[in-house]
Amino acid sequence: MSVPFSEQYKGFAIGVQALRRAKEPHQPEDAPHHFDIVVTISRNASGERGKAELFGVPEHAPLEDQIEAHRIGVQYARDIIDGKVDGSSVTHL
């Protein structure tokens, strides 16, 4: 089964899901969107995925598109892997 927007980084597989929120009735159609972004990080083991951990990306400003949301998710996952996010770790994977 493939994971949407998956990437590799330092021996980990990163999956990103960016879910666009519904617009408020008063917002114009071309206004930036709010996204809920979730990243899944797992360690690759002999071509198979091992145990995975799910992390929610903190609230952020509205974005123009899903590709921008994906970039934010990938960077957040890399920051977790690099130990830059307090309270989040993948050392147990």
CA distance 24 to 46: 46
pLDDT tens, residue by residue, 6-29? 789 999 999 999 988 887 788 787
The pLDDT score that the predictor gives to residue 32 is: 84
- Domain edges within the chain: 1-23+31-51+68-86
**For 64-93, what is each residue's pLDDT tens digit?**
888 999 999 999 999 999 999 998 988 888
Report whether 50 contacts 43 (CB < 8 A): yes
The 8-class DSSP code of residue 92 comes to T
| Structure token digits, residue 38 | 């979730």
Q: Is pLDDT of 1 > 70? A: no
Q: Is the pTM of this model over 0.85?
A: no
